[in-house]
Amino acid sequence: MKDLMGLMKQAKEMQKNMAAAQAQVADIIVEGRSGGGLVTVELAGGGNMKSLKIDPSLFGSAEQDDMEMAEDLIVAAYQDAKVKLDEAQAKTMKDAMGDIPLPPGMNLPF
């Protein structure tokens, strides 16, 4: 019985560590560049796009307002697709798990 109690204690500790790691991952911000720096994207943990910058030379004589609107629309389209992807992945995982109940606080994917 002591082994079971030790195992339960380890599982609780691992769950606590996983929660802390997930919080740290959510705070990570990275920057990606393409076209020699003409396009820059900033992503936060979980793959959420924070910002998009497009060098004005790609738009030629476009107005600054037009560029900013295009950047905002691309970010919004990405976020919409990301939400739909997350929902589809969660549904697929739930379907794969069937009716197996998960312990409280445990979320998929891990």
Domain boundary assignment for the chain: 2-97
Per-residue model confidence as pLDDT tens digits over 25-81? 778 888 899 989 889 999 888 788 888 998 888 878 778 788 888 888 898 988 888
Higher pLDDT, 46 or 110: 46
| pLDDT > 80? residue 86 | yes
Over range 82-95, report the average pLDDT. Answer: 84
The CATH classification of domain 2-97, taken from the options 3.40.50, 1.20.272, 1.10.8, 3.30.1310: 3.30.1310
Higher pLDDT, 110 or 39: 39
Query: CA 17, CA 76: separation in Å to the nearest integer?
Result: 33
Over range 17-23, report the average pLDDT. Answer: 80
pLDDT at 106: 63
| pLDDT > 60? residue 109 | no
Q: How far, in Å, are 33, 78, 91, 105 from residue 21 at the CA level?
A: 27, 25, 24, 14
Q: What global pTM score does this model have?
A: 0.58
> Which residue has 């082994």 as its token pair?
3
